[in-house]
């Protein structure tokens, strides 16, 4: 089956509107409120952001990752990629379009695994952007390896009692509810022994011990918290999905999030290349423009030859999903996760180098692109873990060769060639 990333003219018009809207209306927010793009919490920002959200809703583009049953358009993964790569150009765009993490992934798993009562309680406000949520998975000792999770959920009558500590729980300080992964059966593998719970903020025993921020973030904004679940008691209907489904829910959420991050990373990288190229065409030093110097030309060419294959890999993963081959898409999504960090870091470093000291200042977004690339190499599983998983998936498609020698060795192939053509030529 041939790949096809083309879209109809009507959708191209939507993309053109998004480009202009992000450029003219959203990117100026970076100047007004630098470092504050994660959530528009105060009234001053909401007075500006809320009308922008309404314009997006009026265009039918709010929360484009959602299906029609949840108020979205059901664009599909390829079209969503084309939208998200535009939104990735500005850190404010996801909040304006209703695609900000971690709320997008949290909404998707509630929609897929939640009861009607859970959807009524949590989903409507989340989809409208009126409330925020927290996904609480990582632990001080267990990040990419859920096998060492120590947070436990134990039945007590009709309730569950949850005990443990979670780290880097994003949005915890402003979340209306928490989605928590806990071990419910320690005697079986984590793939069947973990469960997921919905816990309202303010529940007795839920304590935020510390709140940390990434470098460059506004310290007054929601950060990433160390959360202590100190015998938190919740009713049985707080369970999301079935007991033992926690790992399935976890992987469902993270797979989508990894691809969405990669989609937005395309736009971040494209913007960095554009900033670098314009500077190269404008800066005159040592007798010529930077654009005329071979090393700078190499920077531009290397950036382009990294960006285009990355973009095509993301689009191919999206195309596989649209065509119902989610199993094959797993390897592509892992590749996207690896490439997103690598491409952002390498392009950002070149762009910074072309700008000299100016590239390291807060006058340009290049350091944020670099930090974003570093963060993507850690969030939702480190690059190293994804490389191992990708290699394992790929190697499953191969069989060990018989005998002592590689099957492509000439001496091995000669016998087969002789049997096929020996009567016609002297082998």
Q: Do residues 366 and 355 lie in contact, with contact meaning Cβ atoms separated by under 8 Å? A: yes
* pLDDT tens per residue across span 26-60: 999 999 887 766 565 677 788 899 999 999 999 99
Q: Do residues 215 and 371 lie in contact, with contact meaning Cβ atoms separated by under 8 Å? A: yes
Cα dihedral value 100, 103, 104, 110, nearest 10: -170
Q: Do residues 389 and 151 lie in contact, with contact meaning Cβ atoms separated by under 8 Å? A: no
What's the pLDDT score for residue 36? 66
Average pLDDT for 138-151? 87
* pLDDT tens per residue across span 286-324: 999 999 999 999 999 999 999 999 999 999 999 999 998
Q: Do residues 3 and 74 lie in contact, with contact meaning Cβ atoms separated by under 8 Å? A: no
* pLDDT tens per residue across span 170-210: 999 999 999 999 999 999 988 899 999 999 999 999 999 99
Average pLDDT for 151-158? 96
Average pLDDT for 102-118? 92
Q: pLDDT above 70 covers what percent of the chain?
A: 97
What's the pLDDT score for residue 427? 56
For residue 143, give both structure tokens: 């990040």
- What would the DSSP string read from start to end of 51-114? HHHHHHHHTT-SSTTS-GGGTS----HHHHHHHHHHHTT-TTHHHHHT--TTHHHHHHHHHHH-
CA of 383: how far to CAs of 268, 328, 335, 374, 388, in Å?
19, 20, 10, 10, 9
Domains of the chain: 9-114 (1.10.540.10), 133-240 (2.40.110.10), 248-395 (1.20.140.10)
For the ranges 66-70, 153-157, 279-283, 391-395, which has the lowest average pLDDT?
Answer: 66-70
- Most confidently modeled of 30-39, 271-280, 402-411? 271-280
| Residue 130: pLDDT band with limits 50, 70, 90 | confident
Q: Do residues 207 and 225 lie in contact, with contact meaning Cβ atoms separated by under 8 Å? A: no
| Cβ burial 29-40 (10 Å sphere, 16+ → b, else e) | bbeebebbbbbb
For residue 232, give both structure tokens: 């938190």
pTM of the predicted protein model: 0.91
What's the pLDDT score for residue 86? 98
Is residue 328 pLDDT above 70, yes or no?
yes
């Amino acid at each position: 089956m041939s790949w096809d990333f083309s879209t109809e003219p009507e959708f191209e018009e939507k993309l053109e509107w998004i480009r202009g809207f992000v450029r003219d209306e959203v990117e100026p927010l970076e100047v007004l409120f630098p470092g504050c793009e994660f959530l528009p919490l105060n009234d001053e920002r909401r007075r500006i952001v809320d009308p922008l959200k309404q314009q997006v809703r009026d265009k039918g583009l709010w929360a484009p990752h959602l299906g029609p049953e949840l108020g979205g358009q059901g664009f599909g993964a390829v079209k969503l990629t084309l939208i998200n790569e535009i939104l990735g150009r500005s850190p404010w765009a996801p909040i304006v379009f209703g695609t900000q993490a971690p709320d997008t992934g949290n909404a998707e798993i509630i929609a897929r695994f939640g009861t009607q009562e859970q959807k009524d309680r949590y989903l409507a406000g989340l989809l409208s952007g009126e409330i925020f949520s927290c996904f609480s998975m990582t632990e001080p000792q267990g990040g990419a390896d859920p096998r060492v999770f120590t947070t436990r959920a134990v039945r007590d009558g009709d309730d569950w009692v949850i005990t443990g500590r979670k780290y880097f729980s994003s949005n915890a300080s402003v979340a209306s509810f928490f989605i928590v992964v806990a071990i419910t059966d320690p005697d079986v593998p984590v793939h069947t022994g973990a469960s997921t719970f919905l816990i309202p903020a303010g529940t007795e025993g839920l304590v935020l011990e510390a709140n940390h921020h990434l470098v460059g973030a506004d310290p007054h904004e929601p950060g990433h918290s160390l959360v202590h679940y100190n015998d938190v008691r919740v009713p049985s209907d707080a369970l999301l999905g079935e007991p033992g489904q926690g790992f399935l829910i976890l992987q469902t959420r993270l797979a989508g999030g990894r691809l969405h991050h990669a989609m937005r990373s395309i736009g971040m990288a494209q913007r960095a290349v554009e900033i670098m190229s314009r500077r190269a065409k404008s800066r005159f030093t040592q007798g010529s423009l930077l654009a005329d110097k071979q090393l700078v030309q190499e920077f531009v060419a290397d950036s382009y030859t990294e960006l285009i294959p990355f973009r095509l890999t993301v689009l191919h993963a999206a195309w596989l999903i649209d065509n119902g081959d989610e199993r094959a898409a797993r390897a592509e999504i892992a590749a996207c996760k690896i490439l997103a960090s690598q491409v952002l870091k390498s392009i950002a470093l070149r762009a910074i180098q072309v700008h000299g000291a100016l590239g390291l200042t807060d006058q340009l977004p290049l350091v944020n692109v670099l930090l974003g690339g570093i963060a993507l190499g850690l969030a939702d599983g480190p690059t190293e873990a994804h490389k191992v998983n990708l290699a394992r998936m790929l190697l499953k498609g191969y069989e060990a060769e018989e005998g002592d020698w590689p099957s492509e060795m000439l001496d091995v192939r000669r016998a087969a060639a002789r049997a096929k053509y020996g009567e016609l030529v002297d082998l």
